[in-house]
Every structure is written in C-alpha cells, then in structure tokens.
C-alpha cells in the first residue's frame, strides 16, 4: 500500500515558493490562492523574511499551498485503488483535499481561516512549543505536568512536543526530563493545547459553511490514528484538533497495521519521513522538498505500484 503524507507547521522556510514559480501555470495558481486566502502568497513565498514566514497566519497557508502544488504536479503518476492519506497537524487539511473531502478552493479557505484564528489566539499570551528528544515517555509526561505544559504532539521515534507558556518552556530547557534534550521549535503559539480554545470556537463557526465530502480513500486522523469514513467526522476532528494533541505515533502504528509498504511525503517534505525511517524502517520512503525532486519522485512511485 502507498501512503501520501502532508507535513505540518515548522516545515516552512523563506523563499519556499520561489523554485516552483519556474513551472508553467504555478504563478497563476498562486495568484488565485492569494485571492482566496487574503494573503500575498507570491511575496510571502519568495521575498518575505524568517519572522514573517514564521507567523502562524502566513506559515499555515504557505505550507498547504506548497503541498497542493506538489500534489498537482505528481497526482498523474499516482494510480491504484489502495491509497492512504495522512497529514500532520495543518497537513491534515492537505490530506483531506487529497482524499477528496475538500475541493481545492475550500482547502485554501479553511487553512487561511485556521491560521488566522490560531495566530489571534497565540497573541493573547506568550506561548510556544519545544521538541523533547529522548527520555522515557512516562518521565516526560510527568515533567510536563510539573511545569504546567502539555504534550501537544506525540510523534513517535522518541519525540514528544511540549507546548505552553514561554516561561514554562524555558524552565523545561533548563531542567529537561532524565535522558532527554530540548529544542525550541519555530512556531509562535501553544498549538494543540487548551491555549487554543478561542481559536477552536472561531474555526468551528467558519467550517460550518464548508462542504466536507466522505473520503474516497483511506484517511487517517491525528486524534488517534483511526480511519475516518465520513466528511462530518473529518470536519469535527479538524475542529477539535486545534486544541487537542496530535498523535502521529498512532498514525504510524495504523500505517503498519494496514500494510503500508511505500510512503511519499509531499512538499515541503522531510520531517515526517525522518520520523517514519526511525519508526517504520522496513518501509520505502521519499520526500519531495522542492521541484528538483519531482523526477526522482516519479521513479519512486513507479516502483511503488
């Protein structure tokens, strides 16, 4: 079985759209998505600096736009009845589009709204996220509870992401759990925690206006790694995901149980494949980081089917 993965926030970088603009039709597509999102994606994806690209309201739509671009350019190479889609955090919107749940325009509208409301919630308090690498899960969870932090992502492969107030994240860095090290992440908010409750309510109101169809392929949920069968369930889970943990570890467990043999991560790829290689070393993997990877991705897909 072939799985297509879509990355989440943190995979953005300055100039990330620049190389894609050399491909015919891409500039026009980005201009269309700029109108839909209310964001200057051409400028943000080419000349904007690190801080502007890091801003949640910009980062999320840039990431999904890049994922959709790579999908459009690769989808003709993907065939077969047995496909699985999964996305990490905001990447779950890309995966929902790939699986036929959302149309292209609505996917852009949804991610733009998500980024806006989460950025607004982030501005209420100084909060952020840090990756905890190594250490026993039980020790990490206890330490987070001691510091009033939450396990926002459980990514498997010995990685848990803590989220909460900056002062508490600094205490975590000063005194990490036994056997673990801490690395601050380039995100500006305590995503997937109770700090996002106001964003969740606003997002819930917005998506009421959006049509969510039933998936036409296997689509996994960040909540618990389960297969989602209805559009209404996808909508509810995307809403609740804003203030609840991402269980990517359970998504990977489900991939193994369903017999995934090959995994392709769309652009801006690399992060998820790194986790997969450590957790599912028997699976063939490929990450699309930019348009220069498209030919190699075609070769990978030819062997996967």
Residue 83: enclosing H or E segment and its boundaries? strand 83-87
DSSP characters over 117-159: HHHHHHTTS-EEEEEEEES-HHHHHHHHHHTT-EEEEEEETTE
Phi, psi of 52 (to 5 degrees): -70, -40
Catalytic (active site) residue 195: no
Best CA proximity match to 283, nearest among 291, 294, 272: 272
Catalytic (active site) residue 89: yes
From residue 224, give the alpha-carbon distance in Å to each of 33, 86, 259. Answer: 31, 12, 18
CB 169 within 8 A of CB 199: no
Per DSSP, 245 falls in state -
Cβ neighbours, 10 Å, residue 235: 21
**Alpha carbon distance 34, 30 (integer Å):** 6
Alpha carbon 126 to chain centroid, angstroms: 22
Active-site residue, selected from the candidate residues 57, 67, 89, 244 = 89
Active-site residue, selected from the candidate residues 11, 67, 192, 244 = 192
Cβ neighbours, 10 Å, residue 15: 12
C-alpha neighbours within 13 Å on the C-beta side of residue 165 = 8
CB 33 within 8 A of CB 72: no
Which residues are the active-site residues?
89, 192
């Amino acid at each position: 079985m072939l799985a297509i993965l879509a990355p989440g926030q943190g995979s953005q970088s300055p100039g990330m759209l620049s190389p894609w603009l050399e491909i015919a039709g891409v500039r026009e597509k980005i201009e269309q998505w700029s109108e839909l999102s209310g964001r200057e994606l051409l400028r943000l994806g080419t000349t904007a600096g690190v801080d502007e690209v890091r801003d949640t309201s910009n980062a999320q739509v840039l990431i999904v736009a890049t994922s959709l671009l790579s999908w459009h350019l690769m989808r003709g190479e993907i065939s077969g009845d047995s496909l699985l889609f999964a996305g990490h955090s905001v990447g779950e919107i890309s995966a929902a589009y790939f699986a036929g749940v959302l149309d292209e325009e609505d996917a852009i509208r949804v991610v733009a709204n998500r980024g806006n409301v989460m950025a607004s919630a982030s501005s209420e308090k100084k909060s952020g996220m840090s990756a905890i690498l190594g250490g026993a899960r039980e020790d990490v969870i206890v330490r987070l509870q001691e510091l009033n932090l939450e396990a926002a992502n459980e990514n498997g492969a010995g990685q848990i992401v803590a989220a909460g107030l900056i002062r508490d994240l600094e205490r975590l860095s000063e005194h990490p759990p036994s056997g673990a090290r801490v690395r601050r992440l380039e995100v500006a908010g305590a995503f997937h925690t109770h700090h996002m409750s106001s964003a969740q309510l606003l997002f819930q109101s917005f998506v009421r206006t959006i049509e969510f169809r039933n998936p036409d392929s296997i689509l996994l949920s960040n909540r618990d790694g389960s297969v989602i069968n209805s559009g209404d369930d996808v909508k509810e889970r995307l809403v609740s995901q804003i203030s609840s943990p991402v269980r990517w570890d359970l998504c990977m467990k489900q991939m193994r149980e369903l017999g995934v043999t090959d995994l392709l991560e769309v652009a801006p790829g690399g992060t998820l494949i790194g986790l997969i290689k450590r957790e599912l070393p028997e699976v063939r993997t490929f990450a699309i980081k930019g348009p220069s990877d498209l030919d190699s991705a075609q070769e990978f897909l030819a062997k996967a089917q």
